[in-house]
Amino acid sequence: MAVTSNIVILTGAGISAESGVNTFRDRNGIWSRVRLEDVATPEAFAAHPGRVQKFYNQRRAQLPSVKPNPAHHALVRLEQSHAGSVTIVTQNVDDLHERAGSQNIIHMHGELNRSLCAACGASAPHRGDLSIDSECASCGAIGRLRPDIVWFGEMPYQMDRIYDLLRDCDLFLSVGTSGNVYPAAQFVQEADRHGAHTVEINLEPSLGVSDFAEARHGKAGTLLPTFVDEVLSGQYRF
């Protein structure tokens, strides 16, 4: 292991599952109840803004009632005690990493608690419901505020920074993601190509499991605290 090693952790919906947040592609996941084409594309928002706002209002309203679980807390311990850098790149739009206490987080698919103005591009913290009549505090436009979420067909956030981190990391850890959504599903290949050790922690093998050097299957709330203990004690070498 390098003396000060860099760690990148990609997280997905599975890390929040034990907190009570729905995943997307499991049997009872969000996409079993609603078609992503109807709520998570710019075209859906243009055609049915009220339906899309309602979908995200419901998910935003759930956030205060859920709490970070042992998997989120384990990543805080890792960030606080690891000698090198620890960066969480999350696909999740919830705020559980922040509420657990992690500091170094990239929300590549946006955040439920932020709004984005389609007129002026301002992104701002937002609590409570958004409606088709909401007013932008920056430019005053009415009816142009949307959730600050990266929809299918849109460019995820901070891609240049993420690829720099992947090229420089010594350990790439993927937690709770099925490997269905690009570009996140390709990060393991990028990290591997640049010499990182790669590990998957997921309830079941993801679509990309064969790309990882190592995989541990089971609940993140159980496996991740153990994995972090191994890394911090020096027992786990990469």
User: Around Cβ 234, how many Cβ atoms within 10 Å?
Assistant: 8
Task: Return the residues of window 142-161 that contact ligand BV8 according to CB under 6 A.
Answer: 149-156, 159
Question: Closer CB to ligand BV8, residue 5 or residue 19?
Answer: 19
- Coil vs helix vs strand at 170: coil
Considering only residues 111 through 130, tell me which ones interact with ligand BV8, judged by CB under 6 A: none
Q: Is the dihedral of CA 170, 179, 105, 13 positive or negative?
A: negative
Residue 90, helix vs strand vs coil: strand
Asked if 176 touches ligand BV8 (CB under 6 A), the answer is yes
CB 86 within 8 A of CB 7: yes
Torsion of CA 61, 65, 71, 73, to 10 degrees: 110
| Amino acid letter, 170 | D
* Chain residues 3-32 in contact with ligand BV8, contact rule CB under 6 A: 12-14, 17-18, 23-26, 29
Choose between 22 and 131: whose C-beta lies nearer to ligand BV8. Answer: 22
- State the minimum distance, in angstroms, from the CB of residue 123 to ligand BV8: 15
Encoded amino acid at 193, one letter: R
Judge whether 126 counts as a catalytic residue: no
Tell me which of 109, 194, 197, 217 is the catalytic residue.
109
Footprint on this chain of ligand BV8 (rule: CB under 6 A): 12-14, 17-18, 23-26, 29, 40, 91-93, 109, 149-156, 159, 176-178, 180-183, 202-204, 206, 219-220
Residues noted as catalytic = 109
